[in-house]
Chain A
Amino acid sequence: MKKGKLLLIGVFFELLLLALIVIFLKIDNFLQSILIFAVAVGIWFLLARKTRMVENLGMAMEEKRKELLLIALLMVIILPFFFLNNIYIIHILILALIYAIAAVGLDFQMGSTGMVNFAQGTMLGIGAYTSALLCTTFGVSFWIGLVGAIIVSGIFGVILGLPTLKTKEYHLSLVTIAFAYVGYLLILNMKWTGGPDGIAGIPKPKLFGFSLSRSIDIGGISIPGKMLYFYLVLLALVLLIIVASRLKNSWLGLTWNAVRDDEISAKCYGIRLMPYKLLSFVFGSVFAGIAGVLYAHLVGFISTESMAFSVDLLLVAMVILGGMDNIAGVIVGAILLVIIPEKFRSIQDFRILLYAVTLILMLVFRPQGLIPKKVRVYRNISGNR
């Protein structure tokens, strides 16, 4: 299989994906979106049925990883230009990327370390509130708000992590649920967090003295502020993906997996569980905090509704749908669960029902998720699967 041919297949697949996404987002009426959705599902089953195309694709991803990732990034960069006249779609794409960041963070606990965490939505809220409060009450800039949110969500990561050390699956899930409710209720009822009114007028971030709320003109086309914000969030997502993949492919990721698969044999090989579980929560919470900041400054308003328990469930569904312990999978899960319901706005009432049904179907028929995790491969070692 010549290297060139492989690359071509990979590029073709990515082009196909981009085309599907653009068409899906462009058309407005209900029937056409169902048609495109069906086409996408059809292609997915075609690939999943282990035809020769799938092996080639798998090999392409393996051999030409760097090039394909670069092309994928390029495509995402040009994606918003399809929707220059429709900020609403860009707003949805930004939400998808923000939730992707929080989902990658949640995957440290659920995917790598095997701990169910129902408080990731609350962490997102804590990050958002920290930055919102810093910016509105102390008039601090977005960037200092971001740093503040990272520190605060890291601290809360420890606070959430400590009680989970001694607990097992179902007890641990209850600890996180309790944390989520207590966090939600306290923020709802405290004066200085603006209580139920939430916090409004959160400023748009400024880049070298240039605010992202206004549009700028480059070579004739006026690029709306929203698109600049899209690139800010995209930059954050890319950086955090690099951080996440480095963590997962280093000793930390390996040890997390050991703690997930068998705590007892981990202990007998010198692995102390406490620091690793805490690290898993701290990194996850910091990712959620960053996502929260980007969310607050996008919508310009934050209230307890955007950290309600339904957000916690949504993030868990994203990790399961996408594929546990697989960054690419989790991101795809996040994007799907933001874009699809947004398009099917007309069947609003069924949205939550759809989430729950897809979650159960995934758990029964494909627990490993859309893009299952792959075994770690070392460059210098050859061996078959």
Chain B
Amino acid sequence: MVDNKKLLDARNVVMNFGGLKALDGVNVHVNKNEILGLIGPNGSGKTTFFNVITGLYHLTDGEVSFEGENITDKTPQEIARLGIIRTFQSSRLWFELSVLDNVILGMYMREKPSLFSSFFKYNRVRSDLEAKAEEAKAILNEFNPDLANNCYKRAQELALVDRRRVEICRALVAHPKLLLLDEPSAGMDPAETKELMDDIKRVRKTKKGLGIVIIEHDMTVISTVAERVVVFNFGKKIAEGDFSQIRLNKEVREAYLGKE
């Protein structure tokens, strides 16, 4: 029974690195139009889960499907083409390129002039790139106007906060169906975090059917934006549900605050 509400469905996913079980049979699903929070202490397997879904790590056991189609053995490139786009915990931008180029490259999978035309129809290539640069500057402006004004700055010269924002813009221009945000607010002060979460909510409204998963280890941040939350601890899913249920769950509190 294909439940068309379900965007991503990961069933008892196991991932071990030479004996260490980073993921131990987790079951997680993401619905369309939903913001799912993925929380848990450091090293509980959240990022590993993202790496498995996006095909960077090959899972030891279990199955992952996206919009009903099995993507367990697909390459990162094929998975990206299906619309699963992610950001990275250590914000892996292309550091020697300008902010603008980073966002333009986010549109790599969109329709673009062929290699052949870069020889003979060069002005078509230039105009296509200029149009995409226009779009990139627009989205940068939405997130942070002075980022847009300094769009020719090299990515390596950006502050950590700005790097995160550029990464999110890069992900958005790739027109994702499922957006995976890996600790987007890390290193941000509360005001910036609030502003970021509002941006994420605004994005969810503009893009119909878009599913978002946010990895956070700070519970209060998640409470303001996620409808449903999944909690990981030592590679296992120890709780799932809306935020109020999670807060009361004994196991979750122990996982965070340690045993009484």
Contacts and interface: CB of A to CB of B under 8 A. Distances in A.
Physical interaction between A and B: yes
Contacts of B153: 384-385
A268 B86 contact: yes
B111 to A, nearest CB: 11
Interface in A281-327: none
Given A376-B101, A381-B133, A250 B95 contact: no
Nearest to B129: A378
Contact of B149 (A246, A249, A250, A383): A383
A270 interface: yes
A261 B97 contact: yes
Given A269-B85, A269-B108, A247 B92 contact: no
B193 to A, nearest CB: 23
Contacts of A271: 77, 108
B93 A269 contact: no
Contact of B92 (A265, A379, A383): A265
A262 B96 CA distance: 10
Contacts of A279: 115
B131 to A, nearest CB: 9
A251 B125 contact: yes
Interface of B: 54, 56, 75-77, 80-81, 85-86, 88, 92-98, 100-101, 104-106, 108-109, 112-113, 115, 118-119, 122, 125-126, 129-130, 133-134, 137, 148-154, 170, 174
Interface of A: 243, 246-247, 249-252, 254-255, 257-258, 260-262, 264-272, 279, 375-381, 383-385
Closest 7 CB pairs of A and B: A250-B118, A261-B94, A267-B76, A383-B151, A270-B109, A265-B92, A270-B80
Given A268-B85, A269-B80, 20 more contacts: A243-B119, A251-B108, A251-B115, A252-B115, A254-B97, A254-B105, A255-B108, A257-B94, A257-B101, A258-B94, A261-B96, A262-B92, A265-B94, A267-B76, A270-B108, A270-B109, A378-B100, A380-B130, A384-B150, A384-B152
16 contacts: A243-B119, A250-B129, A254-B97, A255-B105, A257-B94, A261-B94, A261-B96, A268-B76, A270-B77, A270-B81, A272-B77, A375-B154, A380-B133, A383-B137, A383-B150, A383-B151
